[in-house]
Amino acid sequence: MNKKSLLQLFLIIIILLTSFFFFKSYIVKKDTHVVLDNTFNEIDSEEKSNLVYNIQYITRDEDGNSYILESDTGELNDDQKELIVMRGVKAIIESENSEQIIIYSNNAKYNKLSKNTNFYTNVIINFGSNHVTSDKLDFIFEKNLVTISKNIIYKNMDTKLEADKIEIDLLTKNTKIFMDDKSKKIKLIKSN
């Protein structure tokens, strides 16, 4: 082989190795995992990592209601395979006959079988002109029930409310607001 052929072979090998390491370092680790209609595709990497990125679960019922859950990252639990612990979470609850509810939180635990979701740490709920912050929100999917608790502050255009717990039935729209200690009162501030 002459020098020109050796140089070309050497350059091709370097290009292939560089492409391989680039693909392995940037493409495989930043792969998007999408979950639609209860189908979950896990990629088993050489590192055997339990982390998945850019997760999305979409569930629709026969009445046209939908529950969309998105997360920046999630960690699968080897002991409880139905649970995934999420970080950087956004959820959207859409119903035919009511306003869209959007939930943000730093963390959530999602049960892939029951669809129940426990949001915690810096929970923010927006629906219509209403804005609620709390430390915890539990969405019990099969009962269409949302329970908001711990350090609740509810605001709308001219009202601020502080309470210990709010329960919302998503089907009937019935809402219960109460304090854990019955001797304490719900704090309601109306602005002029």
> Per residue in 154-181, pLDDT tens?
998 888 999 999 998 888 888 898 898 8
Among the listed residues 104, 88, 102, 90, the one whose alpha carbon sits nearest the alpha carbon of residue 53: 88
Supply the pTM of this predicted model. Answer: 0.72
pLDDT band at 37 (very low <50, low <70, confident <90, very high): very low
- DSSP state letter for 143: G
Name the CA radius of gyration of the chain, rounded. Answer: 24
Residue 102's identity, in one-letter code, is: I
* pLDDT value at residue 9: 65
Percentage of the chain lying above the pLDDT 90 cut: 39
Q: Which CATH architecture has domain 51-190?
A: Sandwich (2.60)
β-bridge partners, 82:
none
Cβ-proximal residues to 26 (8 Å cutoff; 6+ apart), any chain: none
* pLDDT value at residue 14: 67
Report pLDDT digits (tens) over 120-138.
999 999 988 889 999 999 9
